Amino acid sequence: MSATAAHPHGRAQDWLAIRRLTYPDLPAVLAIERRSFPSPWSLAMFVLELSKPDGICLAAERKGVLLGYLICARYDTVFHLMNVAVAPEWRRLGIAQALLRELIARTGSPQARITLEVRRSNAGAIDLYEREGFRIAGLRRRYYQDNGEDAYVMWRTPATLEGSLADVPNAREDLLP
Ligand SMILES: CC(C)(COP(=O)(O)OP(=O)(O)OC[C@H]1O[C@@H](n2cnc3c(N)ncnc32)[C@H](O)[C@@H]1OP(=O)(O)O)[C@@H](O)C(=O)NCCC(=O)NCCS
């Protein structure tokens, strides 16, 4: 039996609620953030993103308990996925996938242009994003200051949904696995 099938609560779609993230959520967000990243965001960074009127910030909760969150900023016509994390003991149940799908729904277009950076070593997150239509389209060398790791730049666009990078700015086909 897989770890997911063994989980007492089963897959997230059966019990998860997704709603807008608000300032009172931030203590619980910070607790998950600190358990999820080697260089966690500060409270001020979350406050800044929540204050942007065009951003899409989401909370995933069960029975009123925050289990995950997603932060996305909007720059003109492009959405920039800045942060997504799920509490460690609630992973591999579909929570991040549900957050991403709700983000896409809330952009107003199933083909909205969305970009993000991800650590080159973060295979699980890369797999998650690829399953939702993102493709690796660029590399930022030594992007992460804590360990000098490279970032992949990923995009989800009308072209990536068709399997090409034709409408991605400065795309690097040679990075595709
Ligand atoms: C990455 C992260 C947000 C994924 O959250 P999650 O709720 O566990 O992801 P989901 O359950 O929705 O996963 C959906 C799919 O993505 C892929 N995936 C997610 N995590 C994975 C992992 N650790 N290893 C391999 N594949 C993974 C799988 O295809 C998974 O489907 P499956 O469980 O049916 O195999 C979570 O592991 C996390 O918070 N990590 C620390 C913070 C982080 O790295 N955030 C991303 C920064 S860019």
Identify whether residues 10 and 36 lie together within a single domain: yes
Does the Cβ of 20 fall within 6 Å of ligand 1? no
Which residue segment(s) compose the domain that 177 sits in?
A: 109-177
Burial 124-141 (b: 16+ CB within 10 A, else e): ebbebbeebbbbbbbeee
Does the Cβ of 125 fall within 6 Å of ligand 1? yes
- Our answer to whether residue 117 is catalytic in this structure is yes
- Residue carrying the six token digits 């600190």: 34
Q: pLDDT class for 176, splitting at 50, 70, 90?
A: low
Distances (CA, A) of 170 to 134, 155, 161, 166: 16, 11, 17, 10
- In contact, 137 and 162? CB cutoff 8 Å: no
**Domain count along the chain:** 2
CATH no. for residue 1?
3.40.630.30
Q: What pLDDT does residue 2 have?
A: 44
CA distance 168 to 30: 33
Q: What pLDDT does residue 173 have?
A: 77
In a domain, 104, yes or no: no
Q: pLDDT class for 177, splitting at 50, 70, 90?
A: low
Does the Cβ of 95 fall within 6 Å of ligand 1? yes
Name the residue at shortest CA distance from atom 10 of ligand 1.
94
Distances (CA, A) of 134 to 26, 60, 73, 106, 176: 28, 21, 17, 17, 12
Identify whether residues 118 and 86 lie together within a single domain: no
Task: Please state whether the predicted TM-score (pTM) of the whole model is above 0.85.
Answer: yes
pLDDT digits (tens, 9 = 90+) for 59-89: 999 999 999 999 999 999 999 999 999 999 9
Domain end call among 71, 99, 127:
99
